[in-house]
Amino acid sequence: MVHAMSQPLSGIIPPLVTPLRDRDTLDIAGLERLIEHLISGGVSGLFILGTTGEGPSLSYRLRRELIEKTCQLTKNRVPVLVGITDTSFTESVNLAKHSADAGATHVVTAPPYYFPAAPPELQEYIQDLVTEMPLPMFLYNMPGLTKVSFEIDLVRRALDMPGICGVKDSSCDMIYFHRLIEVAKQRADWSVLVGPEELTAEAVLLGGHGGINGGANLHPKLYVEMYQAAAAQNLQRTRELHAQVMQLAGAIYTVGKHKSAIIKGIKCALSLLGICEDHMAEPFHRFRDAERQIIRERLVNLGLIS
């Protein structure tokens, strides 16, 4: 087992969409353009196979290919975090080992999402998992999709596990997030990162380390500048940039009617920006022409396309 890095990971680490040509074929040219777009935008890392990346919907073969290609294309310029969340413990371990072999730097796990594990069971699961991990591991709190939360007591116990290096919280519960920050102060190498971009400015101003924000796929520079302003405690500039982030999220995430609208919106926008194709993994399908036209108009209004 490896020990976490001495410096906490901080900044904007976009959860990459997975560029697809059909339900089980990677759009490799699109992946390369996306990675270059993000790195040139100043991001602090790349997170693949998360929620925005449709991780649980992808075949194991495609997940492995995505990990290999992302690590090759990133060329060690920024850390690569890989989501290994699975209903099968063994598959999570296999994917972590594959990630380490490919050159990734961290793994990320949410609780297994079929059987709801009680807090003592989840703690045991994490203890068992971390002993098998070849890379530092983030806990990913996503109760909206996994049915269970990493309770603060469990996080406190995780501080004693050297292989765990922080938490990504997508609960949208800022009271919980502030408790995480308090707990994490006990370890100088721990990162507390927030998922929803609407909360990132506030989270960083009050001691969080950064954001894993879907909208950063589209406009990484905006998110990086917002993070930098918040980290520097420049309240006026943070407010201005936060307003722009809210405007982008409001424009892109509200076109579809369902919860999948966020991922569909980001993928559709990326295809209109000429970065990658917008096919989705089942059970979802990309936006049809009517929604695509709305996204196009909103990208024009945002000044992202002409």
What's the 3-state SS for 83-103? Answer: ECCCCCHHHHHHHHHHHHHHC
DSSP string, 240-298: HHHHHHHHHHHHHTTSSSSTTHHHHHHHHHHHHTTSS-----TT-----HHHHHHHHHH
What was the pLDDT predicted at 85?
97
Backbone angles phi, psi at 284, to 5 degrees: -105, 160
Q: Which residues pair with 139 in a beta bridge?
A: 109, 167
How far CA 149 is from CA of 87, 116, 119, 123, 290, in Å, comes to 15, 10, 8, 11, 37
Decide: 208 and 13 in contact? Cβ < 8 Å. no
CA 57 to chain centre: 15
**What is the C-alpha separation between 281 and 10, in angstroms, rounded?**
30
Per-residue pLDDT at 36: 98
pLDDT tens sequence across 268-290: 999 999 999 999 999 999 999 99
- pLDDT score, position 35: 98
pTM: 0.96
Q: Please give the pLDDT value at position 7.
A: 84
Amino acid 2: pLDDT:
46
Q: Supply the mean pLDDT for the chain.
A: 95
Q: End-to-end distance of the chain based on CA atoms, in angstroms?
A: 50
CA-only gyration radius of the chain, Å: 18
pLDDT tier at 191 (50, 70, 90 boundaries)? Answer: very high
